[in-house]
Chain A
Amino acid sequence: MTPTVRIFVNGAPRDVPSDVSLAAALLNAGHAAFRRSVGGEPRGPVCGMGTCFECRVTIDGVTGRRACLEKTREGMQVTLDA
C-alpha cells in the first residue's frame, strides 16, 4: 500500500496517497474547478504538465503554484478560489 499524507483543502483535512500529484488528488476529491479566471469563470486543470497555468492554487500561503507540478506533502495547506 502507498502511504497516505494528510493535506488540508480550504481547511478541510483529506488523506491522499503520497505519490499522486496535487492536481490528481484535488480532482479525486471532487474538485473540478481549482480557481477563478480574471473574468470570474471557474477553471480546472487542462494540460496536466505545467504549460497552461489553469490549475494554479495557493499552497502554504504561496499563490500561483501549479497543482499539476506539485507532490502532495504532509500538512500541506491548499486554498482553492473556486
Chain B
Amino acid sequence: MPDAGTAIMRADVAVVGAGPAGIAAAVTAAGAGRTVVVLDASPHPGGQVWRHRDRRSLPAVARRWLNRLDRSGAQVLCGAQVVDAGPGTRIGAEYQGRALTVEAQAVILATGAQELLLPFPGWTHPGVVGVGGAQALLKAGMDVRGKRMAVAGTGPLLLPVAAALARAGADLRMVAEQAPAEEVRRFAASLWRTPRRLLQAAAYRASFLSVRYRWGTWVKRVAELDGELIVTYTTGRSSWAEPVDLLCTASGLVPSTELARLIGCAVRAGQVVVDDRQETSVASVYAAGEPTGNTGMEAALVEGSIAGLAVAGRGGGEAGKLLAERDAHRRLAARVAQAFRLHPELRDRVEPDTIVCRCEDVPMSAIHPGWSARQSKLATRAGMGSCQGRTCGAALEHLFGMTRDTVRIPVAPTSIGVLADLASQPDESQGAS
C-alpha cells in the first residue's frame, strides 16, 4: 500500500502536460533559469501528436524538442495524473500510487485537446473508436494488419490517420468525409497561402489511393453481429451497410479545459481565455496549446514558448515575433474549423435509446435538450461517472449548446487514500524538492 502523507515538491514553474506546448514551455522556462516540474499522465513525454514507443520513429522536429527537454533540467514526471488544482498555482496529483503536491510560483496548463465523440446508434460497441483513439492505439502498438477498417467523420485528422492505418497494413475499406466535396475543395484552394499543408494532404491521400474516399458521406448507425461491426453509411439520399472490424469516427477536437475551469480561469466558447503572454484570467496561471483553441502542434510550440518566456519575465523582441506566428496559426485554424464544421445531420443521428453518457448508460430519451449539464446530471447521473462528463459533456455542448457543469475534484478518479493525503497537511519531511 502507498505510504501515508503527501510528497511535496516546490518549483518556480509547474507545467501540466508534456505535449508540444508543455515541452516548449518547460524548455523555454528552464532555459531562462527557472526550476520546472512537468506532469504528464502518459508513460512518455510527447503528448498525443508525438506519442511514441521508440523515439527514433518520430519526425525530426519531435526528436529535437524531446532532446531539448531531456537536457533542459526540467524534472519530467510521467505517469503523474493530476487530480486537483488550485487555489492558484497549487497542483495535486497521483504519482506512483501516492499523493503529490506541487507548489509553484506559476502554472502552465498545456493539457491538450480531446476528441469530440458524438453519440450515434451503436457507437458504444467495442471496435468503434475515435480516429485519434485509433492513432493513439496504433502508436501504442495496436496491430491492424489485415483488419477491415473504416475511417469516417470530419476534420483534419481524417486523412493523416487513414494514411497511417493504411501504411500499418490495415485493410482500409472506406474513408468517408462528411463535408461535401465543394467545401473540401474550397478549403484546399484556400491553402495556396500555405502550400506545405497542401503537399501534406496530397501525400496522405497517396498512401491510400486504392481506397474509396467519399465526400458528403457519414455513418448513420453501427450494429454488432457475430463480432463484426455492420456500418450503415448514408449520403442523406441513399444508405448502405458494410462490415468492418474497426470503425474510426472523427468529429474534431475540443480543448481540454477541466483543470482551467477547476482553477477558475475564464473559458469562452470552450476555450481558455489568454492574453498576449498566454496568461489566463487567474494571475500566474497560464495556458498554452490546444486548451486555448484547436490550432495544432506548430501553434502549440509557439504558445508554449510564449508562456515559458512570460513566466521567466522575458518579453521583448522574441516574444513579439512568436506572437505574430501565433496569430497566423490561429487564422489558419479558423479556416480549418469552417471547412470541417459539423453538419446538423450528425445531430439528427441520435435516437431516443442511443446511449449519451457512456459511464452511466444514460439514453438520449432521459435527457431534455433544453437542460443545463447540471440539470441533466442531477436528473439522470449523466456526467457523474468515471470520465466526469468529459465525453458526454462535450457532446451535449456541441449537439444542444448545453452549458458544461462546474468541475469538481478529483478531475480523474484516484484512491481515497491519495485524496485524503492531498487534503491533509503536507508532510514536508517526506517530500522531494
Could you tell me which A residues sit within 8 Å of B by CB distance?
17, 19-21, 23-25, 27-28, 32-34, 37-39, 41-54, 56, 64, 68-71, 82
Contact = CB atoms under 8 A, between A and B. Distances in A.
The list of the 3 closest CB pairs from A to B, nearest first, reads: A20-B141, A48-B136, A44-B126
B117 A46 contact: yes
A32 B127 CA distance: 6
A47 B126 contact: no
Given A17-B141, A28-B142, A48-B129, 15 more contacts: A20-B141, A24-B137, A24-B140, A38-B359, A38-B360, A39-B361, A43-B126, A45-B137, A46-B128, A46-B130, A48-B137, A49-B48, A49-B136, A53-B387, A70-B43
B134 A48 contact: yes
A47 to B, nearest CB: 5
B42 A24 contact: no
Given A33-B126, A37-B361, A38-B360, A47 B53 contact: no
Interface in B105-138: 114-115, 117, 124-130, 132-137
A11 B84 CA distance: 35
B160 interface: no
A69 to B, nearest CB: 6
A46 B136 CA distance: 10
Secondary structure type dominating chain A contacts: loop
26 contacts: A17-B141, A19-B141, A20-B141, A27-B137, A27-B143, A28-B142, A28-B143, A33-B126, A34-B126, A37-B359, A38-B359, A41-B124, A42-B125, A44-B127, A46-B133, A47-B129, A47-B136, A48-B132, A48-B135, A48-B140, A49-B114, A52-B390, A68-B137, A69-B41, A69-B79, A70-B43
Interface string B335-367: 000000000000000000001001111000000
Interface string B132-171: 1111110011110000000000000000000000000000
A82 B124 CA distance: 14
Contacts of A64: 386, 413
A52 B134 CA distance: 13
A52 B141 contact: no
